[in-house]
Structures are given as structure tokens and as C-alpha cells.
């Protein structure tokens, strides 16, 4: 019986145990609502309802939506939206999310 020496593989930058590097840019969805609201009294309670809402999709740097605290930088996103025709004085950000593929969403839910 002979024992052959297994050749060493070259070192790779990332191993199987580590996560792959994050992408440089990522697509996000942003839910916007108007600052202007309708006022309604229902069951003796005052309710404010935004006049309009809209969903906008953007491509931003990965660091903008993955801060060390785990959230997204709404200020940077608001500045980007302001340059694309959604003035800060009229709109405010309600939520930000990263869309996922249907296959992945079905696994999660």
C-alpha cells in the first residue's frame, strides 16, 4: 500500500466557514408618506392620515443600509430621494427594506 501526499491547495481569501463579502451596492425599497395629512374624528378620537404614499426603489451603497447599529441611514437616503424629485419638505420616509427573491421569501415565511 502506498500513501500519496495530498498537495496543498492555495490559500483563498475567504474560507467556507466565513460569510462571503458584502456587495458594494444593494437595491432597496423605500416607503414614503406625505407630511400633509387629513384630519378625521372617529369614535371621539383624532386620526391623522397621510394624503399620499408611494414606494420607491433605489440602488445605494451597502454601507448606507447596514450601519453598525443594524439600521439604515435615513438622512443619506432622504438626500438621494431629494435629488430624484421627492423633496424632504413634502415627503418623509416610513420604512426601508431590501427586497429578496421569491424563493428565499418562501423559505423564510
Higher pLDDT, 109 or 77: 77
How far is the C-alpha of 58 from the C-alpha of 79, rounded, in Å? 12
How far is the C-alpha of 66 from the C-alpha of 45, rounded, in Å? 38
Structure confidence by residue, pLDDT tens digits, 7-36: 565 555 555 566 667 788 989 999 999 999
At residue 69, the pLDDT reads 84
How far is the C-alpha of 50 from the C-alpha of 77, rounded, in Å? 20
How far is the C-alpha of 98 from the C-alpha of 57, rounded, in Å? 9
At residue 101, the pLDDT reads 73
Task: Return the closest-CA partner of residue 72 out of 33, 35, 29.
Answer: 29
Amino acid at each position: 500500500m502506498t500513501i500519496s501526499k495530498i498537495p496543498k491547495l492555495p490559500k483563498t481569501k475567504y474560507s467556507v466557514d466565513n460569510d462571503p463579502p458584502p456587495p458594494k451596492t444593494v437595491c432597496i425599497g423605500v416607503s414614503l408618506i406625505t407630511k400633509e395629512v387629513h384630519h378625521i374624528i372617529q369614535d371621539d378620537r383624532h386620526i391623522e392620515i397621510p394624503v399620499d404614499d408611494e414606494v420607491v426603489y433605489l440602488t445605494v451603497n451597502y454601507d448606507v443600509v447596514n450601519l453598525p447599529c443594524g439600521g439604515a441611514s435615513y438622512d443619506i437616503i432622504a438626500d438621494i430621494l431629494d435629488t430624484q424629485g421627492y423633496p424632504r419638505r413634502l415627503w418623509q420616509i416610513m420604512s426601508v427594506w431590501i427586497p429578496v427573491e421569491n424563493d428565499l421569501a418562501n423559505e423564510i415565511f
